[in-house]
Structure 1
């Protein structure tokens, strides 16, 4: 990747990948569905495992100023998406539940003023148990939030302490109870393979999560990422055999509870899949506003554009006044579109149709004939003229499967 240079008041960095289209030029008959992502970059405390772009809140949250800047960012983006309807909205972070009830209402109000949001749009918001107040979350629901995603990670007090979470086990349970009181579509984020975690502790976590009647579970194995505290100070994690046992048990336990495993880390009851995230995995379009937000937009002139907003919240807010929200923007080379599609879509347990590949990349599925043949020959993919799906082996070795589709 070409290094990102600072943005000045009159220049946006663009990237020249130096790649040709490999003899194929994308052509889109229909533009993909469009989602909106809104990034709230502050949290109360940075967790030792977290590599998301967020800042600890050391003073009063500049809520009013930031919301004004978000509106301006959205207005500057309108020419790229003019006339397109929004099928889902996701407010992520950081910790979006640091916003006041009035702030969330203001945010969703100006989004609706600027964009045609579908009446049945999924509108999600991330929340952390340490920020829960019943009255405030009731107001969030009344403002239009219809799906809540809670960062529980564990219900075990000892494990929460090791993870550096700001909430305790009682607050975690209380948060889920409040959420289920006002929302009928709740996701719980839980992690496994935690420092010195036993399988019994994992089973207790999942049993607790299921006891609330939760509609969706996001179950992530803890991985040590660069630029985190854990990377510099690695904790003692369970060995591979223990983690493999955890994964197998999760598959059985969630299936027995009526959940479908529809994506690598996502499990849902019937009708409760996360449509915003599915849009990512199916290579749909999304506009991201807010500090450090990313966008992927298909344009009517047959280009696919990626953008990244300025990452530093203060710089982002300051430069918006000059009409400069971006740190980087580039056209995705046609030679990369097939790999980018497969990188996302192969995460889906049920696979995808070959027609969808053409719709979302603007390219014929035949450009992947060689890697598809190789992956099929290795027993990683089931390939038919109309459908492509990872095998059980392909799901287990997903990274190896995805790498087969890297462009030459």
Structure 2
């Protein structure tokens, strides 16, 4: 039986498990960037690659009962810097996963790459291992900006890395760019966009630099950050230029050519399910039989993870999402999408009736933040500008 919804209805829609993805976290990087709040750790000495691959397999095997029989639609290697692992190790991980999980035909398999770690011949190896999408953390093509961001690569290395991947036959590429950088003006931001467009990637991620807690930039903010209005002008101008070049915005910070949206991230934003393996990895799993949704995560420290992966101590946490919290969790993801969401999908993926969010939806419509018919709702232009305010309506 499904749990009662947060407004006390006795009967609720069936919770239907959504598509399943797999996230694999590689926690090491060459050097921690001052703006980064991800679970990443600067490399010190030789990486324990073989030991970590074995730990990932134990971790996966422990989680398998949560998803028996469900196909995996996408895989994402994130970090840290996954490209610090050689192709053979990535191949071993994918082979072990494919032996234990059913991969959907044509599953998208993404590897994050720091241009400073790209080497000749490496992308051929990744492609042979099964990787069919590469996401480059470029951030800027301005060498001054890159230095202020603490990146280990320069603009020349960034372009060379992308071309190496293309020469290896990988054409599903994403370029990560940041804007509102220290010392950056509108012309510099647009120049970054032009340099990206010239490389003809399938996808561009374009997001504002934010000062996240527990980062070096939060403790010591860099000088020369653009004011809020200047940052908004940069965002609008860059969106327009990307659109002119054939990159349609489909999420707050994501732009793609037709048919090249990131399947893995779309699953997140549509409140899909995902297994998370690796140090600090998070997962979300729905159980249609019990009507429960749970979040599960692994220890962040690589030493702890290596020591305990596959055991009870290798689970950092495993908490159900209470029905009262599901509307906020759902909207935190779905309202990032330009396409919005269908109310029937909200019901299927939360196990709640649409009545559970009727008041919040009415408020959002009154404020001009949401639009649509009785079944499908999407953020307006105003709503996209104030995404956090719209989402906050659902916080209980």
- Output the TM-score relative to the length of structure 1: 0.93
Which residue of the partner structure matches residue 289 of structure 1?
A: 277
User: How far apart are the structure 2 equivalents of 1:287 and 1:404?
Assistant: 29
Which residue of the partner structure matches residue 208 of structure 2?
A: 221
Which residue of the partner structure matches residue 345 of structure 1?
A: 334
Cα displacement (A) at 1:201? 1.2
- What are the residue-to-residue correspondences of 1:150-299 with 2, within 5 Å? 150-182=136-168, 183-236=170-223, 237-299=225-287
Question: Is 1:328 matched up with 2:317?
Answer: yes
Q: Which of 375, 379, 386 is the aligned partner of 1:390?
A: 379
User: How far apart are the structure 2 equivalents of 1:383 and 1:340?
Assistant: 21
Uncovered stretches (5+) of structure 2, i.e. residues with no partner: none
Contact 1:26 1:361 in 2 (8 A): no
Which residue of the partner structure matches residue 7 of structure 1?
A: none
Which residue of the partner structure matches residue 404 of structure 1?
A: 393
**Between 91-100 and 379-388, the greater mean CA deviation after superposition:** 379-388
Which residue of the partner structure matches residue 39 of structure 2?
A: 53
Contact 2:61 2:310 in 1 (8 A): no
User: How far apart are the structure 2 equivalents of 1:79 and 1:215?
Assistant: 36
Q: Which of 339, 362, 365 is the aligned partner of 1:373?
A: 362
Contact 2:28 2:80 in 1 (8 A): yes
User: How far apart are the structure 1 equivalents of 2:28 and 2:14?
Assistant: 38
Cα displacement (A) at 1:134? 2.5
Q: Which of 3, 13, 18 is the aligned partner of 1:32?
A: 18
Moved over 6 A (4+): none
Alpha-carbon RMSD across the aligned residues, in angstroms, is: 1.4
Uncovered stretches (5+) of structure 1, i.e. residues with no partner: 1-18
Cα displacement (A) at 1:319? 1.3
Aligned residues: 389
